[in-house]
Structure 1
Amino acid sequence: MTETSAAISTRLNWLRAGVLGANDGIISTAGLVVGVAGATTSRTAILTAGVAGLLAGALSMAAGEYVSVSSQRDSERAALDVERRELAQQPQAELDELTDLLAERGLGRELAREAAVQLTERDALRAHARVELGIEPDELANPWHAAVASLIAFTVGALLPLLAIVLPGASARVPVTVAAVLAALTLCGVVSARLGGAPAPRAVLRNVTGGALAMAVTYAAGTLLGTT
């Protein structure tokens, strides 16, 4: 059974969101633990800060995604309710509107009318939702799925710099973490570029530059605070 283009698009969007969530987890946690490592060599302090940052970031991402997707879903449901009411009250006007929309997409007027009639007879609400609103009525985003996916993606990304900073000895912590983080950001850049159909070198450069800058700034701040 082949997937519809909408299903494929939805899956790609989820994958892209997962990669971006992991990317956020890597950069934010790496900046935090490297900054603390600049101020102290205490493994306990670094681990405590890292775990706190991981939990706060993951829960914040999950809450933000839940609110965002809930708002989107409420808007989509409201639009479907309006469309359902208009179909019940003004069926002929809605048929004319669907015909116009199909004609604007390149169909001849007669063919557009015939297609509009057939789509309306089959499922009028679905036809208007897809053509007019760009919504799949049976595939509205689930806010709980989005929240859990964001929490998991952020946590997976955050674990890498956290483990990289606490497992090595004091002298190797920062170099090992920087190397691991830059490698992970390179991979995230390549994957996100592939999913988005964009050039990989540019995405990798942005990703690596942003991560390196974040770690450099927080390490400098941590070193300064640790010294003073």
Structure 2
Amino acid sequence: MTTDVEPGPHAGEPKQHEQGLAQRLNWLRAGVLGANDGIVSTAGIVVGVAGATTDRAAIVVAGVAGLVAGAMSMAAGEYVSVSTQRDSEQALLRQEARELRDDPEDELAELAGLYVERGLDDELALEVARQLTAKDALAAHAEVELGIDPDELTSPWHAAGASMVAFTLGALLPLLTITLVPAGARLWVTVAAVAVALALTGFSSARLGHAPPGRAVVRNVAGGLLAMAVTYAVGSAVGTGSGL
């Protein structure tokens, strides 16, 4: 995609705005997927336990344990993943800073060449490169060459917290449903509530990813229903075998 860049203090802003929007959409999509994981995994646990016993306390304990374990796992995984990404980005920025310090002329020519590849003529590309280098050489190279904004590196703690919250919110739906609904209807009400929630998360993730929502919804709901069916069957078999 070619972005027209005019010389001046605001050169490069359209691309920065696009990157900012893309980052926000990625965060939103990650939140939807985290909530989806919470719905499916917790629904599988509580429905599986419900297949083994009608004891509300046992179902609640299993559901809460699954919610806490899943939320912590999601947070830890996101923290490790984003920390690794951040470490890599910082290493690239340090390397770029060394190159700018040791060979600024070649780096200026490289930046101008990158703008030529984006569609600017040689003279304009060089002028844009000079102005951006004078303003913030590292930011200019990081944005165009590496696709990194040095001022907006993702925080591992923020990512971990967001992932934990999204998973918890998703997990609360099946947990509260199967806990609050009377025993005679709890299974089917929970399955219906989970199916609706998965349809919504499937639709949302597809729209955020610019994909056709129909197939995404079907896959999401079918996967969730399959998970609950399997865990219910296992719970029923275990419960029967153990005399519950």
Q: Could you tell me the percent identity over the aligned residues? A: 68
Structure 1 residue matching 2:154: 3-state secondary structure: coil
Q: What one-letter code is carried by the residue in structure 2 that aligns with 1:42?
A: D
Aligned twin of 1:151: 164
Which is worse superposed, 193-202 or 172-181? 193-202
2: distance between equivalents of 1:106 and 1:212? 50
Aligned twin of 2:121: 108
1:169 aligned residue (179, 182, 185)? 182
Is 1:67 the equivalent of 2:92?
A: no
Q: Structure 1 residue 118: deviation in Å?
A: 1.8
Q: Structure 1 residue 69: deviation in Å?
A: 0.7
Q: What one-letter code is carried by the residue in structure 2 that aligns with 1:22?
A: A
TM-score, reference length from structure 1: 0.96
Residue correspondences, number = 227
Aligned twin of 2:203: 190
Post-superposition Cα deviations, 1:85-125, rounded to whole Å, max 9, x if no partner, equal 11000001111111221122222222222221221122111
TM-score, reference length from structure 2: 0.90
Aligned twin of 1:41: 54
Aligned twin of 1:139: 152
Q: Structure 1 residue 182: deviation in Å?
A: 0.3
Structure 2 residue matching 1:198: 3-state secondary structure: coil
Q: Structure 1 residue 65: deviation in Å?
A: 0.6
Q: What one-letter code is carried by the residue in structure 2 that aligns with 1:145?
A: H
1:218 aligned residue (209, 219, 231)? 231
Q: What one-letter code is carried by the residue in structure 2 that aligns with 1:174?
A: L
1: distance between equivalents of 2:220 and 2:98? 47
1: distance between equivalents of 2:119 and 2:229? 54
Q: Where in structure 1 are there 5+ consecutive unaligned residues?
A: none
2: distance between equivalents of 1:39 and 1:171? 15
Which is worse superposed, 80-89 or 5-14? 5-14
Is 1:82 the equivalent of 2:95?
A: yes
2:29 aligned residue (3, 6, 16)? 16
1: distance between equivalents of 2:172 and 2:227? 17
Aligned twin of 1:54: 67
1: distance between equivalents of 2:40 and 2:121? 52
2: distance between equivalents of 1:112 and 1:214? 55
2: distance between equivalents of 1:92 and 1:209? 58
Is 1:119 the equivalent of 2:132?
A: yes
1: distance between equivalents of 2:47 and 2:175? 9
Q: What one-letter code is carried by the residue in structure 1 that aligns with 2:104?
A: P
Is 1:94 the equivalent of 2:99?
A: no
Aligned twin of 2:7: none
Is 1:206 the equivalent of 2:210?
A: no
2: distance between equivalents of 1:19 and 1:106? 37
Q: What one-letter code is carried by the residue in structure 1 that aligns with 2:98?
A: R
2: distance between equivalents of 1:95 and 1:127? 10
Q: Structure 1 residue 162: deviation in Å?
A: 0.3
